A = this chain, B = another copy of it.
Amino acid sequence: MAIRFEILARTSTNRARCGRVTTPHGVFDTPAFMPVATAAAMKGVLPSQVRDCGAQIILNNAFHLLVRVGVERMRTFGGSHRLMRWDGPMLTDSGGYQAYSMSDINRVDEEGVTFRSFVDGSLVRLGPRESMAIQNAIGADIIMAFDDCPPSPRGDPEPSGEAPTSGPTTSRRPTADPERYRQRVLAALDRTARWLEACVVHHAHPDRQALFGIVQGGTDLGLRERSVGQVCGIDLPGYAIGGVAVGEGTDEIRRVVEFTAPLLPDSKPRYLMGVGYERDIAMAVAAGVDMFDCVLPTRNGRNGYAFTPNGPLRLRNACHTLDLGPLDPGCDCVACGGGFSRAYLRHLFMADEMLGPMLVTLHNLRHYQRLMLDIRKAITDDAWSSFLRAWPVVGGTPEHPDAAPALS
């Protein structure tokens, strides 16, 4: 097996567990939050700074690297670790989600999807075989099965990758009819199961890249259970919950995750894809999830949205104009520990200085890693309720006067 997973502690009050995953590029502690380096680059952050924020594993997007670099050139580069100078653990998603959500889909058939490249307009083919080829070339320690992503019942999904400028999905519009939606999800599930078998066949490096299967099923718990049976029927190093946080609310995320996570094998890492806000992460950890990724700390950071344990700050707001205090007095990030004030950060955003996005991204990355540190400590100490008290934002009651609904 390419990875080894050890569970080191469990709480007595919920399903949370604390563990360690050993990969060919080193170890990461769980529950883990993986920052997203979409096109083999963390936006505005050097790899050494990612490491300094406490992140032990990062994510690359196979879709973006397929379209921008391609399999052959990625092989020439010797993989993404070498290309982007990140020597730690890495995970790649399969590209399926982005192909569905960010491209003009030209055709979907039993072998995969054909879409137009957002870079040069050329036709690109992506299915289980091609996804394994690019993910093998990228060389991440954990790679994801290529799955069929049904649309959200609520509307267009919020992409978990960085959205390029491209047209909306044309051929897979969401539907409001529940039975029709269920049929589409069901068809996607069965295709996902067939594609997972194809991924296993085409995966060239099972010895050094761990392939995770992805459970789909939307918000229908019966379909989730069916998907668990299909996906976990194949013995894999880990399993993910996909199709969550694609437009539904916190309560629906909770319902799906609390139902699905315990159905996944206890001895394998469980990865909740594309989630998310602190409260959703804490809820999922309590349900037994071990791994998370999201663009929120980086994307929102670039927009002047700073996370704090008491809720977010929007740095363009005038209330920060003369505020010489840090974003978060309890934070030890480059911005807070370095003495950069809210007033200065606001000035940077108002003056369109790239140092603003850089500093707030560094802060947000550290914020998420501090959250995960506290979560792991709470599990080791079996002190979940103390953790909840220390992180008001997790309880869904932000206290800060500048708190506001999340950016869409």
- Interface residues, chain A, with chain B CB atoms under 8 Å away: 39-46, 48, 64, 68-69, 73, 76-77, 83-85, 321-322, 324, 334, 338-341, 343-344, 347-348, 350-351, 353-359
Contact = CB atoms under 8 A, between A and B. Distances in A.
A357 B358 CA distance: 12
**This protein's copies in its complex:** 2
B347 A39 contact: yes
A42 B353 CA distance: 8
A85 B355 contact: no
A44 B358 contact: yes
A41 B355 contact: yes
A187 to B, nearest CB: 34
Contact of A344 (B42, B83, B353, B357): B83
B41 A353 contact: yes
Given A39-B351, A76-B322, A77-B344, 12 more contacts: A39-B347, A40-B347, A41-B355, A41-B356, A44-B358, A46-B338, A69-B347, A77-B343, A83-B343, A84-B344, A85-B338, A354-B357
A26 to B, nearest CB: 18
Contact of A85 (B44, B77, B322, B340): B340
Given A77-B324, A339-B85, A350-B68, A46 B344 contact: no
8 shortest A-B CB distances, which residue pairs? A41-B353, A41-B355, A39-B351, A44-B354, A85-B339, A83-B344, A68-B351, A41-B348
A44 B340 CA distance: 15
A76 B355 CA distance: 22
Contact of A355 (B44, B321, B348): B44
22 contacts: A39-B353, A40-B344, A41-B348, A41-B356, A43-B353, A43-B354, A44-B358, A46-B334, A46-B355, A46-B358, A46-B359, A68-B347, A68-B350, A68-B351, A73-B321, A77-B324, A77-B344, A83-B344, A85-B338, A85-B340, A354-B354, A354-B358
A64 B347 CA distance: 12
Contact of A83 (B341, B350, B351): B341
Nearest to A43: B354
Given A68-B350, A339-B85, A341-B83, A355 B77 contact: no
A351 B351 CA distance: 24
A14 B84 CA distance: 46
A67 to B, nearest CB: 10
Nearest to A357: B354
Contacts of A347: 39-40, 68-69, 83
A147 B1 CA distance: 72
A85 B322 CA distance: 16
Contacts of A85: 338-340, 344
A59 to B, nearest CB: 15
A153 B334 CA distance: 47
A355 B42 contact: yes
A339 B324 CA distance: 38
Contacts of A324: 77
A84 B335 CA distance: 11
A196 to B, nearest CB: 30
Contacts of A351: 39, 41, 64, 68
Contacts of A44: 354-355, 358
Contacts of A42: 355
Contacts of A76: 322
A64 B321 CA distance: 17
Nearest to A83: B344
Nearest to A343: B77
Contacts of A334: 46
A193 to B, nearest CB: 34
